[in-house]
C-alpha cells in the first residue's frame, strides 16, 4: 500500500509526474526557493500569490512573480482576486507564461488580502467563487484550480459548498488547507475534513495541506484521508529535503537519514546564490534572512552565524559567514 501513495496525477487533462507539490507562500516561494525544492524532488511548485489587480495595472514587480525558474520544467501560478473582471483579464496575461496550472487563492488569511475581497474572504461568498473561476476559465485553456480553507471560522465550515461552486464553474482540482481562516496557522489542522471533501468530489483530484512537517505526516495524511496528493508549505521552509524524504518513505516504507549540517548549509547557500542571480543583491539578501534562519535552526554553533546573517547587507559578507561556518563542520 505504501508505494501506491506516491503516484502521478492528472489535473484537467495535464499529467504531473508525482503528487508532492510545493504550496504557494507569499515572500517565500520565489524562483530560488522553488529551484531547491525541485532539486530535492518536488513534483510541482507554485509561485507566490500574484495580484490580479496589480497585474492588470501593469505592475512590473508583480509581473516578475510570474517568471519561471531555469530548473523548472513545469510550474504553476497562483493568483488572488476579489472580482471576476480582474481575474478574467489577468489570467489571460498569466497564460502567456505557459504555467501548467493556474490556481485561485481562496484561503489567505492576511488582513490586507481579505480587505480587497480576495483570499479567505471568498470563503464567505461561494457565488463569487463561481463567478471568478468561470471568468478565469473563459479566458484560458490552462486548467484552473482552487485552494480553499475549511471555512471562515468553526461556525461556518462551508468548504463543501465553496468547492462545489468552484467545480461547477470549471475548477479541475481543489486543494484545502485543513484550517479555518480564524485559525490562520495556529491550532491543529483537522484532516477529517479532507476525507469528507474527497468523498464528496469523487474522481476530481483533491490535495491537502496543513501540519505536514515530516515524511510520516505526509504518509498519514494520504492514508487517513484518501486524497490524491499534498502541498507542503511551512514544513519545507529551510527544509526542502522533506520532498525527497517523503517520496522515499512513500515508495519504500523506509525513512531516510536527515540531511547533515553541511548539506543543509550548502543548500542554503545555493538558494542564496540563486536569489542574487534572479534579483538585485540587496533585495535578495534581505528576503533570504528569514529562510537562512530556518535552515540554521537547531544546527550546532548556529546562533552566532545566524546573528551575523541577520545584520548582513551584501552577498560578499554572507559568503564569508558561510565559509567560516562550513569550516566548523570539517
- Shortest CA distance to 106 belongs to which of 85, 131, 73, 89? 131
Indicate whether 310 and 188 sit together in one domain: no
For the chain, percent of residues with pLDDT exceeding 70: 99
- Looking at residue 263, its pLDDT comes to 93
Read off the C-alpha cell for 162. Answer: 465553496
Task: Give the residue numbers annotated as catalytic, written as ranges.
Answer: 108
Indicate whether 199 and 119 sit together in one domain: yes
Indicate whether 248 and 278 sit together in one domain: no
Q: Which domain holds residue 180?
A: 3-252
Q: Is 276 left (phi over 0), alpha (psi -120 to 50) or beta?
A: alpha
Q: Is 117 left (phi over 0), alpha (psi -120 to 50) or beta?
A: left
Indicate whether 220 and 295 sit together in one domain: no
Q: What are phi and psi of 54, to 5 degrees?
A: -65, -35
> 3-class DSSP state for residue 9?
strand
Q: How confident is the model at residue 299 (pLDDT cuts 50, 70, 90)?
A: confident
- CATH code for the domain in which residue 17 is found: 3.20.20.70
For 197-242, how does the pLDDT look when each residue is reduced to its tens digit (9 = 90+)? 999 999 999 999 999 999 999 999 999 999 999 999 999 999 999 9
Q: How confident is the model at residue 3 (pLDDT cuts 50, 70, 90)?
A: low
Indicate whether 240 and 265 sit together in one domain: no
pTM of the model: 0.94
Indicate whether 183 and 322 sit together in one domain: no
Indicate whether 283 and 169 sit together in one domain: no
Amino acid at each position: 500500500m505504501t508505494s501506491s501513495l506516491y503516484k502521478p496525477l492528472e489535473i484537467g487533462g495535464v499529467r504531473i509526474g508525482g503528487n508532492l507539490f510545493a504550496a504557494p507562500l507569499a515572500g517565500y516561494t520565489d524562483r530560488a526557493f522553488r529551484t531547491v525544492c525541485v532539486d530535492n524532488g518536488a513534483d510541482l511548485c507554485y509561485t507566490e500569490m500574484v495580484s490580479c489587480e496589480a497585474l492588470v495595472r501593469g505592475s512590473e514587480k508583480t509581473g516578475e512573480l510570474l517568471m519561471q525558474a531555469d530548473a523548472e520544467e513545469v510550474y504553476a501560478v497562483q493568483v488572488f482576486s476579489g472580482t471576476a473582471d480582474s481575474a478574467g483579464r489577468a489570467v489571460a496575461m498569466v497564460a502567456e507564461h505557459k504555467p501548467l496550472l493556474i490556481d485561485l487563492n481562496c484561503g489567505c488569511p492576511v488582513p490586507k488580502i481579505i480587505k480587497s475581497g480576495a483570499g479567505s474572504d471568498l470563503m464567505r461568498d461561494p457565488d463569487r467563487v463561481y463567478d471568478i473561476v468561470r471568468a478565469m476559465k473563459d479566458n484560458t485553456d490552462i486548467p484552473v484550480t482552487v485552494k480553499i480553507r475549511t471555512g471562515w471560522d468553526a461556525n461556518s465550515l462551508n468548504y463543501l459548498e465553496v468547492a462545489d461552486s468552484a467545480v461547477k464553474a470549471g475548477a479541475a482540482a481543489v486543494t484545502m488547507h485543513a484550517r479555518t481562516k480564524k485559525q490562520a496557522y495556529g491550532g491543529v489542522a483537522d484532516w477529517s475534513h479532507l476525507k469528507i471533501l474527497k468523498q464528496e468530489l469523487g474522481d476530481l483530484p483533491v490535495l491537502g495541506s496543513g501540519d505536514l512537517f515530516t515524511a510520516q505526516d505526509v504518509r498519514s495524511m494520504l492514508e487517513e484521508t484518501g486524497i490524491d496528493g499534498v502541498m507542503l508549505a511551512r514544513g519545507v521552509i529551510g527544509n526542502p529535503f522533506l520532498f525527497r524524504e517523503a517520496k522515499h518513505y512513500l515508495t519504500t516504507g523506509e525513512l531516510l537519514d536527515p540531511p547533515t549540517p553541511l548539506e543543509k548549509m550548502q543548500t542554503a547557500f545555493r538558494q542564496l546564490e540563486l536569489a542574487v542571480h534572479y534579483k538585485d543583491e540587496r533585495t535578495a539578501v534581505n528576503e533570504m534572512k528569514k529562510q537562512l534562519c530556518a535552515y540554521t535552526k537547531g544546527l550546532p554553533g548556529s546562533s552566532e552565524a545566524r546573528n551575523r546573517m541577520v545584520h548582513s547587507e551584501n552577498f560578499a559578507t554572507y559568503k564569508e559567514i558561510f565559509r567560516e561556518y562550513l569550516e566548523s563542520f570539517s
